[in-house]
Amino acid sequence: MTYRSPLLSRPGAVAAEGLDQGVAAHYGDPLREQRALAAGTAVVDHSQHGVVTVSGPDRLSWLTTLSSQDVSRLAAGESAELLLLSLQGRIEYDAHVVDDGETAWLLVEAAEAAPLAEWLGSMKFMLRVEIADASSEWGVLAATTPLLESTPCWQDPWPGVVPGGFAYAVPESHPGQDRPWFEYLVRIAELDSTVSTLLAAGMTLAGSLAVEALRIAAWRPRWGAETDEKSIPHELDLLRTAVHLSKGCYKGQETVARVHNLGHPPRRLVFLQLDGSQHTLPVVGSPVLLGERNVGTLTSVAQHYEMGPIGLAVIKRNVDPEADLTVLDGDEPYIAAQEIIVATDAGQVVGRQSGFLKAVR
């Protein structure tokens, strides 16, 4: 059954497609909504996302053994991000985790929820954990400012470097610092009334187009957008928030350690400032060209209220970071200036002396 948010009945709501199917793309004025969201005066219906719960006294130590992150000492109310990887180190699940002292709440993309709950259930063995897909009961409201009390809230650690993490981005000042992000768990039956209370208090509604524009501007990768069947954490700068490099063994750890210490990721995430003269946007999935050579794929695109058309792309690691690229949508070319997110010399930290990449302080 396809999810449909009760907030889609709000005046002006236009339904989103793709990853955000089931909620509003906007409520009539996407750029105004984006400004309000950036200013902290708007709330977003994020209830298309999946929610998986893990309860029981062994939940945090168990999740630590399975995942790329150490959440064994996660205190009530604290947030984390973890990845579940394949044996080859490829990203299978990306979960936003907040613990309330009794239950670990895993906020994921809609397509992740059911298979993640099933896989976790298969890994219980004799441990004291209980897993449930709670997506039909719980939704998510999101904002760039604290909103609600007495409900679990995940605060995005991006772009900070968490304990055990490592940054592959070049700049000293990361644009993600301008985008604090909070995701609040709200019962779907109470979504409409909760939003009505927030609107009465002076908030406005923003749609998923506003969320995507701010996410792209913050260089924040998203599962299902920037990831594919070959993605490893290094390519997306996810070692900064979702990987603990010195924790115990987990599936995929060998690849994570080998690429980080001795090798280089084959691809890298890049930010694109697109030529805005066409007054249109290329479609996601369009090839990214260097000259006539295909070097990558456009993974996300948006119209930003200040910067104009922007995007994220995953391209080959050795592409000249100074070169202008072209996004080719059918026969329509879009010239794109790139900004480095993952350094061209990312990885191979053993014996590193110099290069784009700087060690975390």
CA–CA separation, 96 and 223 (whole Å): 11
Same domain, 98 and 168: yes
Same domain, 181 and 278: no
Is residue 183 annotated as involved in ligand binding? yes
Domain count, the chain: 2
CA–CA separation, 133 and 93 (whole Å): 14
| Residue 227 covered by a domain | no
Same domain, 189 and 62: yes
0.85 surpassed by pTM = yes
Q: What's the angle, vertex CA 92, arms to CA 326 and CA 209, rounded to 5?
A: 50
Contact 243, 69 (CB under 8 A): yes
Q: pLDDT tens string for the chain (361 positions)?
A: 789 999 999 999 999 999 999 999 999 999 999 999 999 999 999 999 999 999 999 999 999 999 999 999 999 999 999 999 999 999 999 999 999 999 999 999 999 999 999 999 999 988 999 999 999 999 999 999 999 998 999 999 999 999 999 999 866 789 999 999 999 999 999 999 999 999 999 999 999 999 999 999 999 999 999 999 999 999 999 999 999 999 989 999 999 999 999 999 999 999 999 998 888 999 999 999 999 999 999 999 999 999 999 999 999 999 999 999 999 999 999 999 999 999 999 999 986 544 445 444 3
pLDDT at position 173, please?
A: 86
Strands 325-329 and 287-290: antiparallel
pLDDT at position 278, please?
A: 85
Give the distance between the most distant pair of CA atoms in the chain.
61
Kindly tell me the sign of the dihedral angle through the C-alpha atoms of 318, 324, 330, 331: negative
| Residue 226 covered by a domain | no
| Residue 348 covered by a domain | no
Same domain, 211 and 276: no
pLDDT at position 358, please?
A: 47
> What are the Cα distances from residue 113, in Å, to 74, 106, 298?
22, 9, 25
Same domain, 278 and 176: no
Same domain, 134 and 279: no
Same domain, 168 and 32: yes
Provide the token pair at 214. 């701010």
Same domain, 196 and 318: no
Provide the token pair at 150. 């007495």
Element (H, E) at 336: strand 332-340
Task: For residue 313, give the CATH number of its domain.
Answer: 2.40.30.110
pLDDT at position 142, please?
A: 98
Same domain, 170 and 266: no
| Residue 355 covered by a domain | no
Provide the token pair at 268. 């890298």
Contact 335, 326 (CB under 8 A): yes
pLDDT at position 354, please?
A: 46
pLDDT at position 351, please?
A: 64
CA–CA separation, 204 and 44 (whole Å): 9
Same domain, 188 and 259: no
DSSP letter for each residue of 112-171: HHHHHHHHHHHT-TTSS-EEEE-TTTEEEEEESS---SSS-EEE--TTS--TT-------
Domain of residue 284, residue span: 233-238+253-340
Judged by DSSP in three states, 225 sits in: coil
Task: For residue 185, give the CATH number of its domain.
Answer: 3.30.1360.120
pLDDT at position 172, please?
A: 75
pLDDT at position 352, please?
A: 56
| Residue 223 covered by a domain | no
CA nearest 289: which of 321, 322, 318, 315? 315
pLDDT at position 230, please?
A: 98
pLDDT at position 273, please?
A: 98
**Residue for token pair 């168990």:** 62
Same domain, 206 and 263: no
HSE-CB at 272 with a 13 A cutoff on CA atoms is 35
